[in-house]
Structure 1
Amino acid sequence: MENLKVEKNFYVVLILLLLLLSVDVLAQTKETAEEKPSTALASALAAACRQNETIFLRYQTAENSVAFRKLTPSQKSDLMKRIVQTGDAGRPLLSSGAEGRTVLRCETTGKTTELRFGAERIQENLAFVPVEATGGQSAEFGMVREGGGWKMLSVGLVLMNIPELAKRWATPETTAGDAENSEAAAIVTLRRLAEAVETYKKGFGKLPTQLAQLGPERRGEVSPEKANLIEQELAEGTKGGYVFAYRIVPAQKPKDAKETAGESTEPTYALTATPAEYGRT
């Protein structure tokens, strides 16, 4: 009877040991997965695809987490959409590609973005994970080890500096309608500039070398240096939140080409308009 009792106790102890070992193995497996920066990045990007703020926050540094919580709902949404290059919340699908590397698809109503992970590089507390998006665009995500896990640090050469983004977004947001009106005004200004350049060319027989030559002369006199065709602000290259640039484009033709009668060899020009600050104009 005594032997039976001892044997029973032995089996109970053995079962407990096996349970403890299995728990330890599971813990180690989970820890190994969490230690991979690419795994943490995939979870962060999947959360951004779903527009899941709670999970996305888990993979941000302490400083960025505080700043992210202070953003408006639309600012949070825009940030996550920009990171995964989608226009709306989507459904993330994780799979493995070549050499077992992660592939994340973010499926939205109008667009599907595919992100293919490359080989991660780990340097002590820093890691870098190259990611190629649909269309061949690629960026390298920087990760930093903080609080026992990997957090997002940078996208390409741009730091994930959410506090700085919060400062920029502190001003009233530009609506889609405002942006369209601003772009339309910029196009009208480009047409005005083109007309001014053509008027200058007809009047002085040559193209201006810079926008300043189209500007006003204080005394009201017209000259090749001050043609009085546009206002001073535009002559300085800015108007309505846009920066305008002008350059002469030399006439080009292949070395082997023979000259054709009537073919123009005169230089032309190019005009461009770019927002002074993206996201506001």
Structure 2
Amino acid sequence: MGTLRFEKAIRILFVLALLVRGVGTQGQTKETAEERPSGALASALVAACRQNEAQFARYQTAENAAAFAELTPSQKSDLMKRIVQAGDAGRPLLSSAAEGRTVLRCETTRGTTELRFGTERIRENLAFVPVEATGGRRAEFGMVREGGGWRMLSVGLVLMNIPELAKQWATPKAAAGAAENSEAAAIVTLRRLAEAVVTYKKGFGKLPTQLAQLGPARRGEISPEKANLIEQELAEGTKGGYVFAYRVVAPPKTKDAKEAAGESTEPAYALTATPAEYGRTGKRSFFLDASGELRGGDKQGAEATAEDPQVEP
């Protein structure tokens, strides 16, 4: 009886030893695989397929990992879905093709994406892994050695610049608000320019021919060339994300005295304000002349004219 118990105990210990060895071997295999750029990339894409934020961040550079942590959950999800070209969180399946290259299948409720790895190329601390996705789409993932492991650097020709992505994703509402503020400021600046033009005419008996003449004078020496009415930036035609233009408008030509009655024969002026970067610094363009009526609208970045609808203050 004692001998049987002893043999049974030996068998149990042997099985346990095999299990422990197997677990250790799997850990070593994964660790060894991740020592290669393609292995680290595979782990990153597996995490992206699963929508595992913490695991995905492990394979980012320190700067990208920090920026990734600041993204909203939906932004993190969108980024990972783009990386594996999957429409939703999925179940990753790693395998090897006949030639021994890695194949990752990301199975989601919306379909399955297959990513086939090509031969990695290593150049010192940089590596490039070509990947072919479902439908024949190809991309080359750049990897960089950092902190003792390989981290994602680029997708195709685009750097994995998560801090910049964070700025772009974080600012749609803020950008819209900033654009509206720029538009409001542009209207104020246009009216200030109109006042400066009128003041110039009163002081020198004629209209300025260009904005530069309204600019600051040296040591306060006011002259027709430098009237000291506006700051240098505005005198150069830019301020607050808008480009300002000024021109002298010739009086309309009339056919006879009746038509000319009551009409001024003196030159007038026109001022315009156009977004320096359409969409980002503003959408609306504005036009203002001696009549004092503000006109304009969304001109898709083009200059406003006297034919545009009136803009309410």
Write the distance in 2 (CA, Å) between the matches of 1:65 and 1:154.
14
Q: With the length of structure 2 as denominator, give the TM-score of the two structures.
A: 0.48
Which letter does structure 2 place at the counterpart of 1:75?
Q
Question: What is the Cα deviation at residue 137 of structure 1?
Answer: 0.6
In structure 2, relative to structure 1, the CA distance for the partners of 1:147 and 1:133 (3 Å cut) is same
Partner SS state of residue 163, structure 1:
helix
Is 2:81 the counterpart of 1:92? no
In structure 2, relative to structure 1, the CA distance for the partners of 1:141 and 1:240 (3 Å cut) is closer
Question: What is the Cα deviation at residue 70 of structure 1?
Answer: 0.4
Question: What is the Cα deviation at residue 167 of structure 1?
Answer: 1.2
Write the distance in 1 (CA, Å) between the matches of 2:121 and 2:66.
28
**C-alpha offsets along residues 69-98 of structure 1, whole Å, 9 cap, x if unaligned?**
000111100100111111111111111113
Query: Considering only aligned residues, what root-mean-square deviation do their CA atoms show, in Å?
Result: 3.6
1:120 — aligned with what? 120
Task: List structure 1 runs of 4+ shifted beyond 4 angstroms.
Answer: 25-31, 238-241
1:269 — aligned with what? none
Which letter does structure 2 place at the counterpart of 1:119?
T
Question: What is the Cα deviation at residue 34 of structure 1?
Answer: 2.1
Unaligned 5+ segments in structure 2 are 1-20, 175-248, 251-273, 282-299, 301-313
**C-alpha offsets along residues 235-281 of structure 1, whole Å, 9 cap, x if unaligned?**
xxx7899xxxxxxxxxxxxxxxxxxxxxxxxxxxxxxx9xxxxxxxx
Write the distance in 1 (CA, Å) between the matches of 2:72 and 2:28.
39
Q: How do residues 1-281 of structure 1 correspond to structure 2 at under 5 angstroms?
A: 26=25, 29=29, 31-172=31-172
Partner SS state of residue 45, structure 1:
helix
Write the distance in 2 (CA, Å) between the matches of 1:30 and 1:137.
28
Q: With the length of structure 1 as denominator, give the TM-score of the two structures.
A: 0.53
Write the distance in 1 (CA, Å) between the matches of 2:60 and 2:86.
20
Which letter does structure 2 place at the counterpart of 1:114?
E
Question: What is the Cα deviation at residue 112 of structure 1?
Answer: 1.1
Structure with higher RCO (Cα < 8 A, 6+ apart): 1
Q: How many residues align?
A: 173
- Any conservation in 1 of the 2:34–2:43 contact (CA below 8 Å)? no
Which letter does structure 2 place at the counterpart of 1:139?
A
Write the distance in 1 (CA, Å) between the matches of 2:279 and 2:121.
45
Unaligned 5+ segments in structure 1 are 1-21, 175-217, 220-232, 242-272, 274-281
Question: What is the Cα deviation at residue 30 of structure 1?
Answer: 5.1
Write the distance in 2 (CA, Å) between the matches of 1:84 and 1:173.
28
Question: What is the Cα deviation at residue 29 of structure 1?
Answer: 4.9
In structure 2, relative to structure 1, the CA distance for the partners of 1:239 and 1:124 (3 Å cut) is closer
Which letter does structure 1 place at the counterpart of 2:66?
V
